[in-house]
């Protein structure tokens, strides 16, 4: 059995496996490219197109094309096409199917057992939705792995991590739709994440937006009486495609000309690398600010400097990224397989996971992965990571009645984590308390209810006749993989409840139905 690593990206996806001699290999799609646009075109009720052709279809039929679906993972936002509704899991499943089918066509092998990467900041619901997307695509998802961990595994394996001493690594990942930065240490085969931070809505496509705005401005200067090209979906998508092409080209060239066409008029706009850098400087500055936050937290945690700074994500090919990190921090960043590292590292991790699952009996011997003869992967990695979100309880201020969230576990706390705190009843004679477990929703922890998501609840009994402010205890335990359990105890009676998290994603039946429905559809 071969195992595969999949980078299911916001804008581009990639699949890799470990070859016979232990090296990760990216499997090309049938168009011959290493990465596949994460774009899905619902051409008709029984035909779906994924990848570059879907991206091209955006120009002609934008209403049937879905982009950036990863941003909706974990949320309930169905979309309707040709009389059928599709959840984000089902749409992502079609991207996965394309990757796997193409891998079969080009490498001759059916991929079934996979590890899918997820952003470090994904919470429980998003991770669960990612697994379910895999199941809908008919895959066995051995695990999900955080993208910076995967990137570091690829890097560590390349560097021959066994021979080298401890290394502190900063991963700076600027993709199409997201930015994140992570500090981790590699020590032999021990990998420890110290801290991670990022912005969910900051990536290469924001750079494209700036270029589009500039092109439109120049077009309108030239043709003041013409309509706004952005008011026409076709012109807009063409402009977005051209802007992205220009941006990519300008990573290697100094100048590039885009022909802006709208209502039969054409304006050739010359772009230079310097101009793009000027138009997008504030975006880059935001990544620098977030990186600074991460670097400072790492220093507090005993890692004041880095042996390597890895640039991951396609947008780090812009020379301005490395330049900013050099001037702002004195780093010597390295472009490390920016588009492919995550899939390659996920493949390493998949091999490890499968070997472990065979040894623990979760997979049978027949399901054992083919271990390369001269593998780098004979000893599993030990990975320790941090909480991706804060978790807490919804409480009421006894004096003002204000409701807010008190967090017991915070983002970037080392895992496993266990935190105990006391809470109190509100009223005399109160016989029960409703315990509502909340997950931090935004990038930064906040007490506001609206900045948190309810993930579970339970009711604890209180003995009769107790005054207000009667205490009870809550213990939050987050295991090494980020799964949360909460135990609440009333100490006098010994009454105890355990609350485990309901993620609330698709049920198993819904997943099975979606898988059957998808198998009837042509995906290409
Ligand atoms: P994802 O966010 O899906 O993980 P990637 O890491 O593949 O995405 O990064 C995709 C982003 O990288 C896109 O915005 C794309 O335009 C950008 N990109 C790819 N190649 C280049 C390049 N040569 N120069 C600048 N940006 C690039
Ligand atoms: Mg990525």
pLDDT tens for 174-228 read: 999 999 999 999 888 888 999 999 988 899 999 999 999 999 999 999 999 999 9
- Kindly state if the Cβ of 369 falls inside 6 Å of ligand 1: no
DSSP string covering 67-119: --GGGGTTS---EEETTEEE-HHHHHHHHHHHHHHHHHHHHS----EEEEEE-
Ligand 1 in reach of 318 Cβ (< 6 A): yes
Q: Is 176 in the pocket of ligand 1 (CB under 6 A)?
A: yes
Nearest atom in ligand 1 to 250's CA:
24
Q: What is the pLDDT of residue 464?
A: 96
Nearest CA, atom 22, ligand 1:
248
Ligand 2 centroid – CA 319 distance (Å): 18
Q: How far is the CA of 356 from the centre of ligand 1 (A)?
A: 34
pLDDT classification of 502: cutoffs 50, 70, 90: low
Q: Which atom in ligand 1 lies closest to the alpha carbon of residue 204? A: 14
Report the separation in Å between the CA atom of 179 and the middle of ligand 1, taken as the mean of its atom positions: 11
Query: In testing the pocket of ligand 1, which one of 9, 34, 314, 343 has its CB within 8 Å of the most ligand atoms?
Result: 314
Q: Is the CB of 244 under 6 A from ligand 1?
A: yes
What's the 57 CA to ligand 1 centre distance in angstroms?
20
Residue 156 has pLDDT above 70, yes or no: yes
Q: Which ligand is nearest to the CA of 345?
A: 2
* Average pLDDT of the segment spanning 461-488: 92
Which ligand 1 atom is nearest residue 35's CA? 7
The residue to mutate among 7, 12, 68, 277, having the most atoms of ligand 1 within 8 angstroms of its beta carbon, is 12
Task: Say if residue 161's pLDDT is above 60.
Answer: no
Strands 334-335 and 308-312: parallel
Asked if residue 298 has pLDDT above 50, the reply is yes
| Residue 175 beta carbon below 6 angstroms from any ligand 1 atom | yes
CA distance 346 to 387: 20
Mean pLDDT of 340-355: 92
Per-residue pLDDT for 306 more than 70?
yes
Q: Which residue has the higher pLDDT, 49 or 398?
A: 49
User: Residue 83 burial by CB count (10 A; 0-12/13-18/19+): exposed, middle or buried?
Assistant: exposed
Superfamily of domain 3-202+289-384: ATPase, nucleotide binding domain (3.30.420.40)
Q: Measured from the CB, is residue 315 less than 6 Å from ligand 1?
A: yes
Where, residue-wise, is CATH 2.60.34.10 in the chain? 391-499
Tokens 């205890």 appear where?
473
Asked whether 143 and 115 are in contact (CB, 8 A), the reply is yes
What is d(CA 33, CA 24) in angstroms, rounded to the nearest whole number?
A: 16
- Is the pLDDT at 279 greater than 90? The verdict is yes
Residue 422's Cβ-count burial label (10 Å; 0-12, 13-18, 19+) is exposed
Question: How many Å apart are CA 268 and CA 260, to the nearest integer?
Answer: 6
In this prediction the pTM is 0.90
The model's confidence at residue 164, banded by pLDDT at 50, 70 and 90, is: low
- Evaluate if residue 377 carries a pLDDT over 60: no
Give the residue-averaged pLDDT of 232-259: 95
Alpha helix segments (H runs only) across 261-305:
273-279, 281-300
In the reported structure, the alpha carbon of residue 313 is separated from the centroid of ligand 2 by a whole-number distance in angstroms of 5
Domain span(s) for CATH 3.90.640.10 in the chain: 204-279
- Provide the 10 A C-beta neighbour count for residue 396: 11
Question: What CATH number does the domain located at 204-279 have?
Answer: 3.90.640.10
Q: Is 336 in the pocket of ligand 1 (CB under 6 A)?
A: no
Q: Which atom of ligand 1 is nearest to the CA of 207?
A: 14
Residue nearest ligand 1's atom 21 by CA: 248
Contacts of residue 323, defined as CB under 8 A and 6 or more positions apart, other chains included, come to none
Binning pLDDT at 50, 70 and 90, where does residue 124 land? confident
pLDDT at 372 over 70: no
pLDDT at 30: 96
- 137 CA distance to ligand 2 centroid (A)? 20
Q: Is 37 in the pocket of ligand 1 (CB under 6 A)?
A: no
Task: Give pLDDT, residue 160.
Answer: 58
Whether 250 has a pLDDT exceeding 50, the answer reads yes
Nearest protein Cα to ligand 1, atom 23 = 248
Ligand 1 contact, 204 CB (< 6 A) = yes
The closest of 181, 172, 186 to 312, measured between CA atoms, is 172
Query: Taking 50 as the threshold, does the pLDDT of residue 127 lie above it?
Result: yes
**CB of 273 closer than 6 A to ligand 1?**
no
Alpha carbons 315 and 334: distance in angstroms, whole number = 13
Q: Structurally, what CATH architecture does the domain formed by 391-499 represent?
A: Sandwich (2.60)
Nearest residue (CA) to ligand 1, atom 4: 9
Task: Output the pLDDT for position 425.
Answer: 96
Of residues 443, 454, 377, the one with CA closest to residue 19 = 377
Q: Is the Cβ–Cβ distance between 42 and 51 less than 8 Å? A: no
Q: Is 408 in the pocket of ligand 1 (CB under 6 A)?
A: no
Choose among 50, 18, 47: nearest CA to 31: 50
Ligand 1 geometric centre to CA of 407 (Å): 36
Give the H or E element holding residue 348. Answer: helix 341-359
Tell which one of 315, 316, 341, 342 to mutate to probe ligand 1, the residue whose CB is within 8 A of the most ligand atoms.
315
């Amino acid at each position: 059995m071969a195992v595969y690593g999949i980078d299911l990206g916001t804008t581009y996806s990639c699949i890799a496996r470990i070859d016979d001699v232990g090296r990760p290999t990216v499997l090309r799609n049938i168009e011959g490219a290493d990465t596949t646009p994460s774009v899905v075109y619902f051409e008709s009720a029984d035909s779906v197109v994924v990848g570059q052709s879907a991206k091209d279809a955006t120009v002609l039929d934008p209403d049937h094309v879905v982009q950036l679906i990863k941003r909706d993972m974990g949320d309930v936002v169905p979309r309707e096409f040709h009389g059928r509704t599709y959840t984000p899991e089902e749409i992502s499943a079609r991207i996965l199917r394309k990757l796997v089918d193409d891998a079969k066509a080009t490498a001759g092998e059916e991929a079934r057992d996979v590890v899918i990467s997820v952003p470090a900041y994904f919470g429980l619901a998003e991770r669960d939705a990612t697994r379910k997307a895999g199941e809908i695509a008919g895959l066995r998802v051995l695990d999900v792995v955080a993208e910076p961990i995967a990137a570091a595994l690829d890097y560590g394996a390349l560097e021959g991590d066994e021979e080298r001493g401890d290394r502190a690594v900063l991963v700076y990942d600027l993709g199409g739709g997201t930015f994140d930065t992570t500090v981790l240490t590699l020590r032999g085969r021990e990998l420890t994440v110290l801290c991670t931070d990022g912005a969910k809505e900051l990536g290469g496509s924001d750079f494209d937006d700036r270029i589009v705005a500039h092109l439109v401005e120049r077009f309108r200067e030239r043709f003041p009486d013409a309509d706004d090209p952005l008011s026409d979906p076709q012109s807009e998508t063409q402009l977005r495609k051209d802007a992205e092409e220009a941006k990519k080209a300008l990573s290697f060239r100094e100048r590039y000309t885009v022909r802006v066409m709208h209502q039969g008029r054409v304006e050739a706009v010359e772009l230079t690398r310097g101009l793009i850098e000027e138009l997008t400087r504030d975006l880059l500055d935001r990544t620098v600010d977030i990186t600074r936050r991460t670097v400072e937290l790492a220093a507090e945690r005993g890692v004041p400097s880095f042996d390597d700074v890895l640039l991951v994500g396609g947008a780090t090919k812009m020379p301005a990224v490395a330049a900013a990190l050099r001037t702002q921090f004195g780093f010597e960043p390295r472009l490390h397989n920016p588009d492919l590292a995550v899939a390659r590292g996920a493949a390493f991790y998949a091999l490890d996971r499968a070997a472990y699952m065979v040894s623990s009996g979760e997979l049978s011997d027949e399901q054992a992965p083919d271990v390369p003869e001269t593998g780098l992967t004979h000893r599993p990695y030990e990975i320790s990571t941090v909480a991706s979100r804060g978790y807490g309880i919804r409480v009421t201020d006894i004096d003002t009645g204000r409701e807010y969230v008190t967090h017991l576990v915070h983002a970037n706390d080392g895992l496993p984590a266990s935190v105990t705190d006391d809470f109190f009843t509100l009223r005399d004679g109160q016989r029960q308390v409703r315990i509502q477990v909340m997950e931090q929703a935004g990038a930064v922890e906040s007490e506001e209810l609206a900045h948190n998501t309810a993930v579970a609840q339970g009711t604890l009994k209180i003995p009769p006749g107790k005054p207000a402010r009667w205490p009870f205890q809550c213990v939050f335990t987050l295991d090494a993989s980020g799964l949360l359990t909460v135990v609440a105890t009333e100490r006098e009676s010994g009454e105890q409840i355990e609350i485990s998290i309901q993620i609330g994603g698709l049920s198993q039946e819904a997943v099975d139905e979606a898988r059957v429905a998808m198998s009837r559809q042509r995906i290409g």
